[in-house]
Amino acid sequence: MNISTQQNSMHQFPQPKTIVITGSSSGFGVLTAKALAARGHDVVATMRDSATRNHAVKMELETFAEQGCFKLQVIDMDVTNDDSVSTAIASIAKTHGRIDVLLNNAGVMNVGVTEAYSIAELQAQFEINTFGPARTIRAVLPTMRNQGLGLLISVTSLSGRVVLPFFGAYSASKFALEALAEAYRYELSGLGIDSVIVEPGPFPSGLLTNSPAPINEAITEAYGDLGKAPEAMKAGFQSMYDSAEPPRSLDVAEAIVKLIEQTEKRSLRTVVMPKGMDFGVERLNNGVTEVQNALLKTMQLESMI
């Protein structure tokens, strides 16, 4: 892909694009921040605790930017905190003069017996995976509406379309994000703002190693041998990630770069699976799209498709 003046269907993007990324402390966030900066975009990589827990990653990104003379800065933003989000986004908009793209990438993945997760644990899952994107989208939309131009990218998961046992809490939060992003797609379609979804399959991203198990061990133990299945599943995925040929996480970053620089109309959903894997998500999306479009036409809202 060559860096050139791009347009989002009918609307012209300036170059370079100012891009805000959440969850830039690991996985897809780090890879995508580097890939976009290397292509000449003005990247703002956000994360929590950049002066402490994530200081090494901040230094890695800043060194990368300095060595390549790229436009990439790291700032603190906690997507679970209203004030943190509003303050950070307002500062970015003021400093850069615009925000062209918001990439909602921050996430956490609970894997365990669903019953064993307390309401507080479920709320913590949703705070990052669902309410976090809701906060950042609300924060950037006034700027994007004033521009008459913008792109929202929500990173969900194959678990945002299909449900695996013991991934119930995670899937619920990602299903909710899918609905939110799709609703924005329709409602913002007449304002020059696009909303799209990226659905990665099982790639190494840091989610698995940081996956919180339920605190209530008694409920997990009540499931007997079945209660041991979540750890066995995580071990299986980790073995794949540690193999001689692990899934290539850069595929996800490259798919996001392609979406951002795309000149023609973007698809609502982009599925990115490791080579040789097919979980049926693409087929599911095609069937749902047909039903969804028919519904909008019935409601005389086909202009939003």
Quick: pLDDT tens for 270-293: 999 999 999 999 999 999 999 999
Which band of pLDDT confidence, cut at 50, 70 and 90, is reported for residue 11? very low
- Say how far apart CA 136 and CA 102 lie, in whole Å: 8
Which band of pLDDT confidence, cut at 50, 70 and 90, is reported for residue 6? very low
1 domain-assigned: no
Which band of pLDDT confidence, cut at 50, 70 and 90, is reported for residue 151? very high
Residue 12's pLDDT is what? 47
Which band of pLDDT confidence, cut at 50, 70 and 90, is reported for residue 5? very low
- Say how far apart CA 73 and CA 64 lie, in whole Å: 10
> Phi and psi (nearest 5°) for 108?
-140, 150
Identify the domain containing residue 113 by its residue range: 7-304
61 domain-assigned: yes
Q: Is the pLDDT of residue 8 over 80?
A: no
How many domains does one find in the chain? 1
- Say how far apart CA 163 and CA 161 lie, in whole Å: 7
Quick: pLDDT tens for 222-264: 999 999 999 999 999 999 999 999 999 999 999 999 999 998 9
Q: Is the pTM of this model over 0.75?
A: yes
How are strands ordered across the β-sheet holding 18-21? 72-76, 42-47, 18-21, 101-104, 150-155, 193-200, 269-272
140 domain-assigned: yes
Q: Is the pLDDT of residue 209 over 90?
A: no
CB of 59 closer than 8 Å to CB of 30 = no
Q: State the CATH number of the domain containing residue 146.
A: 3.40.50.720
Residue 15's pLDDT is what? 81
Kindly list the catalytic residues.
Answer: 170
198 domain-assigned: yes
Out of 7-11, 12-16, 189-193, 203-207, which region has the weakest mean confidence (pLDDT)?
A: 7-11
Please give the share of the chain, as a percent, with pLDDT higher than 70: 95
Task: Please provide the DSSP assignment of 163-180 as one string.
Answer: --TT-HHHHHHHHHHHHH
Integer Rg of the chain from CA: 19
2 domain-assigned: no
Tell me the pLDDT of the chain averaged across its residues.
94
The mean pLDDT of 100-107, rounded to a whole number, is 97
Q: Is the pLDDT of residue 2 over 50?
A: no
Residue 7's pLDDT is what? 36
190 domain-assigned: yes
- Say how far apart CA 289 and CA 291 lie, in whole Å: 5
Q: Is the pLDDT of residue 155 over 60?
A: yes
